[in-house]
């Protein structure tokens, strides 16, 4: 019996994503913006529709059948997320709106009550604003200091400098697992090991990593891991914050309201168990159901097979774009995920994006919520093509052809 894995069947995968079958501006849609938001497969659309049509009610609140069905679906999604991350316990899985909210939760409920003058938070020069601004706010609130480990011209973390900036004063290291603007995959295992040996805890921003690599938070050894459902072919408005149980247990709640309490009186309130202590108010139930379906879908495809397919597209696109005169690839790290940022001489990235759109090619242009990265490379913005499980070599060809049109316009 052969044990060889079946080849990745992208034609079949594309059939799962009805949105891709449309035309945009008279051309077949070529969707190269999955780093901003992935599209949803039928499995996710149907899971959400099924939930909304047959099972919706509020969770944790009713004895009636629908409320119990909704609670089962919601808590089932939590167990699905636990398995997806290989967390030890469901108590470590907090549903949030997305990566941004997950990081803000850690900033306000973990860092703010603990940190003070003399303490340091260490990030890197390639972070998304969601992994910069919450720490700046904590610094203003507590008097602690934000340190930034530099990147080099390839968009790689300068690990030596990072290790030298890591000291006994560092309380928390917060880094992207994968950079959204450059595609760089960071050496997170090494970072976690080094941080822990200095007594610092580690938060990983997994927004761009989860669609491209299997995550095992126990193997990574990180203390917090945050990601968004919509980058993972799931719905918007739902994400996960993983936190080690001992840490979450010690942390005060962040937001107050329904569901996060055990008892309330005007004199004093007591708080719910984990993870509900951090889930004030009615949660995004259908979002969690859709997220669980997205995890089933992606694991069904085999994340490693998807990643290998995307790496082939990245290599092809990198080779093709490198041949275009005046085009410069921004972010040339040795280890990259399926993100390709670039500039074209004489053409502002926004104009480039508009021309590509007129050819049906959807890319993202701008600073990608990573302004310090743009400052480092001394550019206002980049054009960014990003690949998902449904992209094809024909999509790369369409990108190259549309860039040819842009060159004709801008000479």
Q: Give yes or no for residue 369 binding ligand C6P (CB under 6 A).
A: yes
Segment near ligand C6P (CB under 6 A); pick from 13-21, 75-83, 97-105, 399-407? 97-105
Interaction between residue 400 and ligand C6P (CB under 6 A): no
The verdict on 122 binding ligand C6P (CB under 6 A) reads no
Sequential DSSP letters for 99-142: HHHHHHHIIIIIIHHH--TT-EEEEETT--GGGTHHHHHHHHHH
| Least distance between ligand C6P and beta carbon 177 (Å) | 8
154 half-sphere exposure, CB direction, 13 A CA radius:
11
Regarding 336 and contact with ligand C6P (CB under 6 A), the answer is no
Q: How far is the CB of 368 from ligand C6P (least distance, A)?
A: 5
Minimum CB separation of residue 284 from ligand C6P in Å reads 13
Long-range contacts, 46-49 (Cβ 8 Å, 24+): 46/293, 47/289, 47/290, 47/292, 47/293, 48/235, 48/286, 48/287, 48/289, 48/290, 48/293
Query: E strands of 265-359, at which residues?
Result: 269-271, 327-330, 339-344
Q: Are 97 and 108 in contact (CB under 8 A)?
A: no
407 binds ligand C6P (CB under 6 A): no
In terms of Cα–Cα distance, which of 294, 340, 348 is closest to 318? Answer: 340
Tally Cβ neighbours within 10 Å of residue 295. Answer: 24
Given a contact cutoff of 8 angstroms between Cβ atoms, the answer to whether 169 and 199 are in contact is no
CB–CB of 289/79 below 8 Å?
A: no
Query: Residues 201-220 vs ligand C6P: string with x where CB under 6 A?
Result: ----x-xx------------
Q: Which is nearer to ligand C6P, 107 or 207 (CB)?
A: 207
Chain positions 25 to 54 lying near ligand C6P, rule: CB under 6 A, are: 35-36
Nearest distance from C-beta of residue 197 to ligand C6P, angstroms: 25
- Is 78 an interacting residue with respect to ligand C6P (CB under 6 A)? no
In this structure, the number of other CB atoms found within 10 A of the CB of residue 197 comes to: 10
Is position 385 an interface residue for ligand C6P (rule: CB under 6 A)? no
CA 107/CA 32 separation, integer angstroms: 32
Choose, by CB under 6 A, the member of 16, 364, 381, 390 that binds ligand C6P: 364
Q: Choose, from 144, 222, 347, 369, the residue flagged as catalytic.
A: 369
Nearer of residues 38 and 41 to ligand C6P, judged by Cβ:
38
123 contributes a contact to ligand C6P by CB under 6 A: no
> How far apart (Å, rounded) are the C-alpha atoms in residues 173 and 46?
39
The residue number with the shortest CB distance to ligand C6P is: 180
Active site residue 369: yes
Residue 226 Cβ vs ligand C6P, minimum distance, rounded to whole Å: 8
Least separation in angstroms between CB 153 and ligand C6P: 20
Judged by CB under 6 A, the stretch of 58-66, 96-104, 312-320, 330-338 that binds ligand C6P is 96-104
Rounded Cα distance, 34 and 304, in Å: 17
Closest CA to 60 of 373, 313, 282, 288: 282
Compute the C-alpha angle 396/290/232, nearest 5°. Answer: 35
Element (H, E) at 12: helix 10-15
- Residue 362 near ligand C6P by CB under 6 A: no
Check binding of 341 to ligand C6P (CB under 6 A): no
In angstroms, give the least distance from the CB of 330 to ligand C6P: 14
Task: Tell me which residues in 175-194 interact with ligand C6P (CB under 6 A).
Answer: 176, 180
Coil, strand or helix: which one is 16?
coil
Positions in the binding site for ligand C6P (CB under 6 A) = 35-36, 98-100, 128, 130-131, 176, 180, 205, 207-208, 228, 364, 368-369
Residues with active-site annotation: 369
């Amino acid at each position: 019996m052969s044990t060889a894995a079946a080849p990745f069947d992208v034609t079949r995968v594309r059939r799962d994503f009805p949105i891709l079958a449309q035309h945009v501006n008279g051309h077949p849609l070529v969707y190269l913006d999955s780093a901003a938001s992935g599209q949803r497969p039928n499995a996710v659309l149907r899971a959400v529709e099924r939930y909304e049509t047959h099972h919706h009610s509020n969770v944790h609140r009713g004895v009636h059948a629908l409320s119990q069905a909704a609670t089962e679906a919601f808590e089932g999604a939590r167990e699905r997320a636990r398995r997806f991350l290989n967390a030890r316990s469901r108590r470590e899985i907090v549903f949030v709106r997305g990566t941004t909210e997950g990081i803000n939760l850690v900033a306000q409920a973990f860092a703010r009550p603990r940190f003070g003058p003399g303490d340091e938070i260490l990030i890197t020069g390639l972070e998304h604003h969601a992994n910069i601004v919450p720490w700046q706010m904590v610094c203003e609130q507590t008097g602690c200091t934000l340190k930034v480990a530099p990147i080099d011209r390839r968009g790689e973390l300068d690990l030596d400098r990072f290790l030298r900036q890591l000291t006994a004063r560092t309380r928390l290291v917060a880094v992207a697992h994968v950079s959204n603007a450059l595609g760089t995959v960071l050496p997170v295992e090494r970072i976690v090991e080094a941080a822990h040996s200095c007594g610092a805890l580690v938060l990983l921003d997994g927004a761009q990593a989860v669609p491209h690599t299997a995550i095992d938070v126990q193997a990574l050894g990180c203390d917090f891991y945050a990601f968004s459902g919509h980058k993972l072919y799931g719905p918007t408005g739902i994400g996960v914050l993983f936190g080690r149980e001992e840490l979450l247990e010690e942390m005060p709640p962040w937001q107050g309201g329904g569901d996060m309490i055990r008892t309330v009186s005007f004199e004093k309130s007591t708080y719910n168990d984990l993870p509900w202590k951090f889930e004030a108010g009615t949660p995004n139930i259908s979002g969690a159901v859709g997220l669980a379906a997205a995890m089933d879908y992606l694991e069904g495809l085999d994340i490693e097979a998807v990643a290998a397919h995307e790496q082939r597209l990245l290599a092809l696109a990198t080779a093709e774009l490198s041949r275009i005169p005046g085009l410069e690839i921004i972010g040339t790290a040795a280890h990259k995920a399926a993100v390709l940022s670039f500039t074209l001489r004489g053409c502002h990235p926004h104009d480039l994006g508009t021309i590509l759109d007129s050819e049906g090619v959807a890319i993202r242009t701008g600073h990608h919520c990573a302004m310090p990265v743009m400052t480092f490379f001394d550019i206002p913005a980049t054009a960014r093509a990003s690949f998902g499980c449904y992209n094809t070599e024909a999509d790369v060809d369409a990108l190259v052809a549309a860039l040819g049109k842009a060159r004709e316009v801008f000479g």
